[in-house]
Structure 1
Amino acid sequence: FAHDADPARMRDLPARAARAGVQVRLVDSAAARRQAPYDLVLIDVPCSGSGSWRRAPEAKWALTEARLDQLCRTQAALLDAAAPLVAPGGRLAYVTCSLLEAENQVQIATFLARTAGWQSLSGLRLTPLDGGDGFFLATLGRNI
């Protein structure tokens, strides 16, 4: 299941999926919820983009405390909305292009503290020192 608030960003999904050998079926959000649960749900949440500030340094001046708080609330809401879509024994992958702990480690720790039946399986934090933009990935497992 793939969804983006901006449908134009999904236009090339069929071509990318074909290159990966993955079948794509278009459904609306309501149908996707009805077809749950899924073995894997990936959420690439809106974030500060702090992992790309080396390429766009002016963006760091646009991030205010209020904007970061708003982003963190949205991220938490998306985690909460995605969790019920995951099958028991399935995985939830949470991704940002942020290096900020509030959007990453703190967000995951808070989700695990408020949501029974989940565990952290793995995490990955890439920084610009790794040769690209900064990213964060946490993989959570839903208990059976």
Structure 2
Amino acid sequence: MQAFQSDGVRALSALGVAVLGAGAMVTTSASMHAEAEPVPVIYSILNMTERMADRHACPLDLLHARELIETRYAATGYRLEFSPLADGPDVLLHELAATVSPEPEASTAACAWTVHVSFQGATATYQSTVAPSSTPLERVDLAPLPAASPATNTR
């Protein structure tokens, strides 16, 4: 009889441990699902440089600009998706415009860039002067704009 009680206690103990383990697994699984997935945000880069001489003297390396933007926004909770023609308040829009100074033919020419960023009502304007072969965003601290937090975005 004592062996039967001992086996019953062991069985109940094992059942209790199994139930507690399953509860811990469910809690861990639920907390993993509770972490927010990155919010998809469409972004666009527009070269607004008007004069062709400025465009030729100050070319915009779009691939490098995309890498810099995506790297700087990596820790924000947004997952950036590039679109070359997107526009609107929910689009992270980067408008870049260059002017070469003093003149394209001068041996010490530099590119003066203006970078205007807008997203969900927030805007920022940055200035950068770089060598003609450089990407203007390398010397600009493109801090993520203080727009609506990703948790409140209804997308």
- Of structures 1 and 2, the one scoring higher in RCO (CA 8 A, sep 6+) is 1
TM beyond 0.5: no
In the superposition, the TM-score normalised over structure 1's length comes to 0.30
Alignment TM-score, normalising by the size of structure 2: 0.29
